[in-house]
Chain A
């Protein structure tokens, strides 16, 4: 999707040589601390910010050169949602849709206009704002504005959704609704690319993750591969000393009553320990969480001055 992408703002290099690879049908989560360049990267993908060097390809076309063909197939939420506060949500969506090119995705002239009403209703329905009526956006809550921003991303029935921090301002129910909506869209063939610093959000939703740190893409892989069992067993036991003595050389790490053991399987290890008369309170394969992984590859956020 991108190759050797670099963006400098004067002396500050926001994005350094990023090779992003998002495949069609992915649910891709871009993670990274604050200030790691996520937003700049997203803006470059959308042609808002011009790259200093490097290539960007979105939906098979070069950006920003082919923006006119590519962007109509993308729905985007870039940082906070935005709307004209004195107009209703519906009026905002209608205006935004009317502002776009007249021929969406090579359709017939006027096709967009004829389907506009229906698409706006559908988008409002999808994000749960169908019954909001004529209230002006300035009377909306934070969560409602976020939902409206999502609806704006959906009105053109995009092939690719690029969402920057989509969970901001949503309550737990809103986040669950969002997740279900995105999963449903993805099932229908929409590629979802989202950036977030909320690990849980990404862990529950995405199939692939990339991690940015100080403008570098330090990690990019399938989530399943990253969080696969490590082949080590975690054992909790009150008899930690005896266990350590028994398995001498195979214990990699010890933290109080918790041991990290290199062993062929949890069941086999359990049998051996119990057979030796040792008590085991819990035992299971070690599984790294996304948090462990991300923290291990990133430094402190750039908003932290040390």
Chain B
């Protein structure tokens, strides 16, 4: 079976843990996030007949000043960045997070989940913000922890991309 390590990063309060909760197989409780700083879940995705076992490292969201521990990011095959669409600051922090990740694992398939898409009236991002993401080499998906919208799409995109980026499958 193909297994891939996917790291999920984002500042505190972006709702990334609750976003994936309904879609993954969990063994560990959320307490691990506050103790060890990471919680690992599993998501099996079928891509063109191939089953891919995504091991999702949900890395504890840190406040602005604190860095994400790079040891958890090591060896990641893909990264899922999560920002809160209703809080601009979480979006503005993405470049900084991305630099940190790239310095550890280089350029791996990366996707930005703009969460809380169900709160349309509180949406704090402009069309320009979202349009700038592809230019920065980031695919993005609007997601909602509340309705579950976009989450499966995000996983599918990641699974497809990690397989495409796999040197052994070319």
* Same complex: no
Show the binding face of B for A, using Cβ within 8 Å.
none
